[in-house]
């Protein structure tokens, strides 16, 4: 009898041979996806027969994963901040380090540094992971999510509807243009908090990315020659939309925090110490507009 455990082991071995970094986890995710099992149910049923009608599809997904297709694209979802987000090749896959930005925003709100009903702007929302997570955690917030890609906004809208994030507005356009062309009933135009995980990989490094990252949307990764193009544009426009006393939280790549902090300081904001991830990398830059 060919069991779930056998399928898991075969998948793990095949992915390891292909050089996949997390073969055990990825094999598990693929099998759980095919059999519609949660993690607890999967481990409970390891001795059960693997459905024969799913075997060909399982091998196909393992081959695609071995060729570098991200497992999140294969199964069509990724967990972020305790919520399941639909992902397609039109959006960047949400990553654990971005949860630090959401945690930092929630801390500001819980500490009273944001209004009880804050107005929040997420620039370049992609799958909507940041915006929707904040909307669900701060249910009396008004959250506006923008993106230059209509396909990405379509994905984010579906997720917001499924998760019940009714307090989220979606606007299509490039950075500040999305606010300028918005309809009058599409949410606020000035904000207590601006958040973003913009493209920040220097152009010259794009070809050296892992095969998995090269499968993701280039426009969600390409930060220009030095990786700072979008930070410059964001910093230059904050004065138009940020309330007095409002906050800015920007995810940054490794080594970029000093330059981004300088850009925000030049824009007249008060800059605070960056927030580090578990590896000690400065991951979130934090700044505040002066109060009246």
Both tokens of residue 194? Answer: 């601006």
Average pLDDT, the chain: 94
pLDDT, one tens digit per residue, over 24-35 is: 999 999 999 999
Residue tagged 């654990």 (tokens): 96
* pLDDT value for 98: 97
Q: Which two tokens stand for residue 266?
A: 């030049």
pLDDT band for position 254 (cuts 50, 70, 90): very high
Confidence of residue 187 (pLDDT cuts 50, 70, 90): low
Is the CB of residue 159 less than 8 Å from the CB of residue 211?
no
Residue 184 has pLDDT above 60, yes or no: no
Domains of the chain in start order, with CATH, are 4-75 (1.10.8), 89-288 (3.40.50.150)
Model confidence over 197-208: pLDDT tens digits? 999 999 999 989
pLDDT band at residue 94 using 50, 70 and 90 as cut-offs:
very high
Output the pTM of the full model. 0.92
Residue 121 has pLDDT above 60, yes or no: yes
How far, in whole angstroms, is CA 107 from its chain's centroid?
19
CB neighbour list of residue 251: distance below 8 Å, 6 or more residues apart = 97, 98, 100, 101, 196, 197, 198, 200, 283, 284
The tens digit of pLDDT for each residue in 62-71 reads 999 999 999 9
Q: pLDDT tens digit string along 209-244? A: 888 899 999 999 999 999 999 999 999 999 999 999
Extract the tokens encoding 49.
Answer: 């027969």
| Strand ranges for the chain from DSSP E | 77-80, 83-86, 119-123, 142-147, 168-172, 191-196, 242-251, 270-276, 282-288
* Phi, then psi, of 223 in degrees rounded to 5: -95, 15
């Amino acid at each position: 009898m060919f069991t779930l455990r056998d399928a898991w082991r075969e998948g793990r071995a095949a992915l390891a041979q292909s050089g996949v970094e997390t073969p055990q986890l990825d094999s598990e995710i693929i099998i759980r996806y095919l059999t519609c099992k949660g993690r607890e149910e999967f481990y409970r049923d390891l001795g059960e027969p693997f459905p024969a009608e799913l075997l060909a599809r399982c091998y196909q997904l393992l081959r695609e994963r071995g060729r570098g297709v991200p497992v999140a694209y294969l199964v069509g979802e990724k967990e972020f901040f305790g919520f399941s987000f639909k992902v397609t090749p039109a959006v960047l896959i949400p990553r654990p380090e971005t949860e630090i930005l959401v945690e930092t925003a929630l801390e500001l709100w819980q500490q009273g540094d944001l209004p009880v009903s804050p107005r929040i702007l997420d620039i370049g929302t992609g799958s909507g992971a940041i915006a929707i997570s904040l909307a669900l955690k701060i249910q009396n917030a008004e959250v506006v999510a923008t993106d230059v890609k209509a396909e990405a906004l379509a994905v984010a809208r579906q997720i917001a509807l499924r998760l019940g994030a009714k307090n989220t507005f979606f606007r299509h356009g490039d950075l500040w243009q999305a606010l300028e062309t918005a309809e009058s009933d599409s949410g606020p135009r000035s904000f207590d908090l601006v958040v973003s995980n913009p493209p920040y990989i220097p152009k010259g490094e794009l070809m050296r990315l892992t095969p998995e990252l090269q499968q993701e949307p280039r426009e969600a990764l390409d930060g220009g020659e030095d990786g700072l193009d979008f930070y410059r544009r964001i910093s230059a426009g904050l004065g138009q939309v940020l309330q007095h006393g409002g906050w800015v939280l920007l995810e940054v790549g490794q080594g970029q925090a000093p330059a981004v902090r300088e850009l925000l300081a030049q824009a007249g904001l008060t800059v605070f110490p960056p927030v580090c991830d578990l590896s000690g990398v400065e991951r979130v830059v934090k700044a505040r507009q002066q109060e009246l």
